Chain A
Amino acid sequence: MKRQWLRRSALLLQALLLALPLYAALIAASHAPGDLLGRLPWLPGNRLLANLRTVLGAGLPGSPSVLRMLGNSLVMALGIALGKLMLATLSAYAVVYFRFPLRRTAFVLILSSLMLPLEVRFYPTFQVSAGLHLLNSYGVLIVPLIASATATFLLRQFFASMPPSLLDAARMDGAGPLQFFLHSALPLARTPLAALFVLEFVYGWNQYLWPLLTTTDARYATVVMGMQGLINAGTSFALPRWDLVMTTALLALLPPLLVLLLAQRWFIRGLTDIEK
């Protein structure tokens, strides 16, 4: 009984610690800029809707429209997530079901790239992207980031865990490699795919350094990297517009949260029981 109490308070404390910055953002976003001078009120104010309207409508002076940045982020996150899934599904399928020379080597290579953080290859990737005249485009935001060792590895494990007789049965039924992929492998992989989609969407949405390096044109600014500019713009006024900056921050939080909530059921199932 006592131990349970202890455990609960620890959990509660953790939740509070996590929620506190969020609460601060909510408070800042719901007040007039004057109320935030030198202090943070304890309770939310009544200006949240008004602030939202300002941010989504006019935006902050001197920075790209927030709506546009949200749109850019959405394009990038969806592009990365879908691109990763497509590439990873196909390569995992190939590694599991096709006998070709250096098959194991290919898989080990993919797996070993898991060890390398993205930042390690920024310089060469930047060089290549620049050489291909991809800078300042949606292409550069998406394409260099869609190779995923994690997703390939997870899907390989999933395909390898499917009973081999399923492939035998499909071959007897007259399904070719592409038909087996489309009619059986892909539909069966929908739970791990949904889980991976959530992970990769959040990963794509939260990209900061790469968009900052490769896009200088404000038309391609994403909301996560644009935040930096917003803070500069917001605080350059006599009266710092923390209310608007925090409203934007809340907006930037929303899409990954929505995706997670919508796919929550599949997300948990896809990560826990990879079997079915």
Chain B
Amino acid sequence: MATLELYQVCKRFGASSALTPTNLQVADGEFVVLVGPSGCGKSTLLRMIAGLESPSGGEIRIGGRCVNAQEPSARDIAMVFQNYALYPHMSVRENLSYALRLRKLERAEIARRVDWAADLLGLQPLLARKPAELSGGQRQRVAMGRAIVREPQLFLFDEPLSNLDARLRNHMRVEIKQLHRRLRTTTVYVTHDQVEAMTLAQRMVVMNHGRIEQVGTPEEVYAQPASTFVAGFLGAPPMNLLAARISADGAQVLVDDLAPLPLPAPQPSLAGRAITLGLRPEALLPAVDGRWSLTLNLLEALGGELLLHASLGRQACVLRVATTASPWREGDTLRVQVASTALHLFDAASGQRLPS
């Protein structure tokens, strides 16, 4: 087990920059998730940590020692790939033991480690099979087994669940979490799925356009998104982002011609500024004496909860209400209450979070 440190690591492909200089520290035993839309640089970053790509600049340290010049196999890390990348012509046992055989470990030690990993992942009955004879979930487990038999200092996961169907994905997500709980190996996990990021991460790194937007625990990132990008990326459905303005006295938020919302504390510095107002779908609470009134356009019943798509002034928004049966119908007008503590303010131009 080891720490991972990135100092000013960047990657350019020709003239285009895939990753702007990036710093990141991962503590020993920590589970960090890199999350972002495709093309945000998260996979490039992971591949550079793995040694499959070389950085255009900066320094990568694993366990305190610089690994920039080291081959992937010398870095004492293991990686699980999106398409599993199992060797199709080798049995599960051979797949698991390949790295150990290349390292010329003793036979007894190889057998011990393979059996240990197979027990841990429930692969014992499958050891003699070829990857083609396995289901998606089983292949995924073999890919993880291949990583853990090496007893590496660092695990890297590159979108390991995106080839699985939804049900299996939930199941494997739990397995990965339990595995990390047992092994306590430092892990960097790349995904574009915000649910995976929220549930697995001890700390998450939200990336966009080749740079880090925000680093923090899932709770922090969810509660205090650093930008409109992060706000819109996390949460399903995502946060409502409304064009708004701060009143001339800096004490209220004005959305179109709706009733003004008081800020929790007046912000004279923001007085009169155009902003983006962020409201989580669950922050808009239906209430008879609510401040705002909105028109329902569409209802989506999810069983335990209800999604209400509505027009708020001239803008669209989504509400999430925990109820099984809807007392409303499409076309109804609804009054909602907004808690002043639930307001997220962002600069209208830069999208950066503003103090509120």
Contact = CB atoms under 8 A, between A and B. Distances in A.
B89 A166 contact: no
B73 interface: yes
A173 B51 CA distance: 12
B116 interface: no
A184 to B, nearest CB: 6
B133 to A, nearest CB: 13
A154 to B, nearest CB: 19
Given A169-B79, A173-B102, A174-B99, A184 B89 contact: yes
A168 B81 contact: yes
A21 interface: no
Given A174-B99, A174-B103, A168 B85 contact: yes
Interface in B62-88: 71-73, 77-79, 81-83, 85-88
B89 A187 contact: yes
A276 B87 CA distance: 12
A175 B85 CA distance: 14
A172 B77 contact: yes
B88 A276 contact: yes
A188 interface: yes
Contact of A172 (B50, B87, B89): B50
Interface in B37-60: 47, 50-52
Nearest to A175: B102
B98 interface: yes
Nearest to A276: B88
A168 B86 CA distance: 11
Interface residues of B, number: 24
B73 A169 contact: no
Interface in A161-182: 163, 165-166, 168-175, 179
A163 B103 contact: no
Contact of A188 (B52, B89, B146): B89
A169 to B, nearest CB: 4
Contact of A165 (B51, B77, B83): B83
Contact of B88 (A171, A173, A179, A188): A188
A165 B82 contact: yes
B79 A168 contact: yes
Nearest to B75: A172
A156 B174 CA distance: 41
A23 B147 CA distance: 62
A165 B98 CA distance: 16
Interface in B138-154: 146
Nearest to B152: A172
Nearest to A190: B89
B88 A172 contact: no
Contacts of B47: 168
A163 B85 contact: yes
Contacts of A183: 87, 98
B102 A172 contact: no
Nearest to B53: A168
B158 to A, nearest CB: 8
B209 to A, nearest CB: 24
B83 A173 contact: no
Interface in B324-338: none
B71 A171 contact: yes
A175 B101 CA distance: 10
Interface string B8-33: 00000000000000000000000000
10 contacts: A163-B83, A165-B82, A168-B85, A169-B146, A171-B51, A174-B71, A174-B99, A183-B87, A184-B87, A188-B89
Interface of B: 47, 50-52, 71-73, 77-79, 81-83, 85-89, 98-99, 102-103, 132, 146
Q: Which 6 residue pairs of A and B lie closest in terms of their CB atoms, listed nearest first? A: A174-B73, A173-B99, A165-B85, A169-B85, A165-B81, A174-B102
